[in-house]
Amino acid sequence: MIGYENDTSVLHGAHPYTPLALAGAVFCLVFAARSPEHVGALLAVAVLLAVLAGALGQALRAALAIALPTIVLLLVLHGLLGPAPYSFVGPFLISDSGFERAVVLGGRITTVLVATVAVLRSVSPARLVDAMTDRGVPFSVTYLLVSTLTLVPRMRQRAAGILEAQQCRGLRLGGSPFARLAALRPLTLPLILGALMEVDEQVLALDSRGVGRSPRRTALDPPADTEFEWLLRWMCLVVVVAAWTARAREWLL
- Residues 12-51 within binding reach of another protein (CB under 8 A): 23, 27, 31
**Quick one: 11 or 105, whose CB is closer to another protein?**
105
Footprint of another protein on 227-246 (CB under 8 A): none
Q: Quick one: which of 64, 89, 165, 204 contacts another protein (CB under 8 A)?
A: 204
- Residues in the interface with another protein (CB under 8 A) total 91
Question: In the bound complex, what is the minimum distance in angstroms from residue 116's beta carbon to another protein?
Answer: 5
How many alpha carbons lie under 13 Å from residue 241 in its C-beta half-sphere? 6
Question: In the bound complex, what is the minimum distance in angstroms from residue 227's beta carbon to another protein?
Answer: 24
Whole-Å CA distances, 129 to 99, 141, 227, 234: 43, 10, 21, 21
Return the range that interacts with another protein (CB under 8 A); candidates 49-57, 88-96, 203-211, 230-238: 203-211
**Quick one: 14 or 62, whose CB is closer to another protein?**
62
| Buried residues in 203-229 as b, exposed as e (16+ CB within 10 A) | eeeeeeeeeeeeeebeeeeebebeeeb
Q: Quick one: which of 169, 170, 208, 252 contacts another protein (CB under 8 A)?
A: 208
Q: Does 176 bind another protein (CB under 8 A)?
A: no
Beta-carbon contacts of 30 under 8 Å, excluding residues fewer than 6 positions away, are 39, 42, 107, 108, 111, 112
CA distance 136 to 114: 30
Footprint of another protein on 104-133 (CB under 8 A): 105, 108-109, 112-113, 115-117, 120, 124-126, 129, 133
Footprint of another protein on 135-174 (CB under 8 A): 139, 142-156, 159-160, 162-163, 173-174
Question: In the bound complex, what is the minimum distance in angstroms from residue 120's beta carbon to another protein?
Answer: 6
Return the range that interacts with another protein (CB under 8 A); candidates 9-17, 49-57, 98-106, 239-247: 98-106
At 221, which amino acid appears?
D
CA distance 201 to 135: 29
| Buried residues in 82-109 as b, exposed as e (16+ CB within 10 A) | beeebeeeeeeebbeebbbbbbbbbbbb
User: Any idea what DSSP says for residue 214?
Assistant: S
